[in-house]
Amino acid sequence: MSDQYRIISDGAGWLDRAGRGRVRFRGSDAASFLQALVSNEVASLQPGQGVYATYLTPQGRMIADLRIYRRGDSFVADVAPSTGAALAERFDQLIFAEDVQSSDATAELSQTTVIGGRAAEIVGEALGMDAAALRALPVWAQLDARDAGGDGVFVVRTDDATLPSFDVFGPAGAAASIRERLAGAGAGELPRELAESLRIDAGRPRFGVDMTEQTIPLEAGLLDRAIGTGKGCYVGQEVIIRVLHRGGGRVAKRLVRLAFDPGVVEPPAAGDAIEAGGKPTGTITSVARAPDDSRWIALGYTHRDVAEEGRQVTIAGRPDAGATIAGLAG
């Protein structure tokens, strides 16, 4: 994998994200509708802006995480794989007198991720866009692609990896053309194993893997990315505010990044118990080979008192499988 990583470090690779879900919201009340439900600021978004947010139960547990993009007078939400239809229906059931329509747009929209040191240049060349403008985009902001083989193509700056990363959205019928253009500009297809390695290396949790319906977003380190601490009411806010204000933000466990010792040959596995000082402290959730192929890396939850950068841990029953906490995830 180290050779593949060097290739995208110097260039870029693309990955088909057709498996992810996409939900569209239309209507004059779409912004206020979402504002009342999700954990981050939506009402103030202007066309071309976006935000990362969570949708919670009244008990502050996660139902979904969403990347919400304002597209003119509508919104598109990029959600976890295979959840688009269920979430669209769930939102639809919450509509009373509001002028808003929620629909599953998974089959209507294509989505392609581009990651690499020259991702902006390659996307720019492929889609007739200004690379400097792409490089200057804030995270979750978008630019329309005017020369992409179809109308309605737009590019979003993301934070999926430590390397520059973008998502290209467009009509489903434009997917093949978009990827041909990316390939023509020098991007190869990104192996899914490397994409997963880049995600874990960046400490980005994935819903359904590192976060579930039992997760409080603060446990997964999503405070800065997904919680608007100054916004008005949303579902689950009381629990989040109580933890932040009364509990000083302390939750029982935290999601951390783990770097295993280079000599560890047998990989850890999701579900393996983590020990610190010979005592159980948490569980592995995701594992991959490091992008440079130097070691195994992982995400996992540990007790908050153990979740400190530099702390040494092991896998239960495997004293040879030592790891260092490389930092918090989120």
The pairing of beta strand 50-56 with beta strand 318-328 = unpaired
**Would you state the pLDDT for residue 248?**
76
Q: What is the mean pLDDT of the chain?
A: 95
In this structure, is residue 284 part of a structural domain?
A: yes
Asked whether residue 214 falls in the same domain as residue 197, the answer is no
Instruction: Indicate if the alpha-carbon torsion angle 32, 37, 41, 47 is positive or negative.
Output: negative
Residues 257 and 113 in one domain: no
Residue 219, in any domain of the structure: yes
Average confidence (pLDDT) over 268-276: 97
Same domain for 207 and 306, yes or no, is yes
What would the mean pLDDT of 275-303 be, rounded to a whole number?
A: 97
- With 90 as the cut, is the pLDDT of residue 327 above it? yes
> What sign for the dihedral angle of Cα 121, 137, 1, 196?
negative
DSSP lists the bridge partners of residue 68 as 51, 77
228 in any annotated domain: yes
pLDDT tens digits, residue range 37-85? 999 999 999 999 999 999 999 999 999 999 999 999 999 999 999 999 9
pLDDT beyond 70 at 322: yes
pLDDT of residue 149: 58
- Tell whether 8 and 152 lie within a shared domain: yes
Residues 150 and 242 grouped into a single domain: no
Total domains present in the chain: 2
Position 48 in a domain: no
* Domain match, 172 and 143 both: yes
Q: If you average pLDDT over residues 80-94, what whole number do you get?
A: 97
| pLDDT at residue 150 is higher than 70 | no
We report the CATH number of the domain holding residue 117 as 3.30.1360.120
Domain boundary (186, 201, 216) is at 201
With tokens 């059931």, the residue in question is 93
Range of the domain at 131: 2-17+109-201
Which residue, 161, 185, 201, sits at the end of a domain? Answer: 201
Distances (CA, A) of 106 to 110, 111, 168, 170, 264: 8, 9, 14, 11, 41
Bridge partners of 77, per DSSP, are: 23, 68
Query: Are 263 and 134 in a shared domain?
Result: no
- Do both 142 and 8 map to the same domain? yes
pLDDT at 130: 96
Q: What is the pLDDT of residue 151?
A: 73
For residues 261-277, give the mean pLDDT.
96
Residue 279 neighbours by CB under 8 Å, 6+ apart: none
Same-domain status, 183 and 152 = yes
Please report which helix (H) or strand (E) contains residue 101, including its range: strand 101-104
pLDDT of residue 7: 85
Q: Do residues 281 and 225 both lie within one domain?
A: yes
Residue that finishes a domain, picked among 147, 172, 201: 201
Are 177 and 231 contained in the same domain?
Answer: no
310 shares a domain with 195: no
Residue 211 forms part of a structural domain: yes
Are 156 and 140 spatial neighbours (Cβ–Cβ below 8 Å)?
yes
pLDDT confidence of 13, banded at 50, 70, 90?
very high
Nearest to 31 by CA among 47, 15, 7, 13: 47
Report the pLDDT value the prediction gives residue 32, as an integer from 0 to 100: 97
Q: Is the pLDDT of residue 156 over 90?
A: yes
pLDDT level of residue 256 (50, 70, 90 thresholds)? very high
Average pLDDT over residues 151-160: 94
The pLDDT assigned to 148 comes to 66
CA dihedral 152, 185, 183, 83 (to 10 degrees): -40
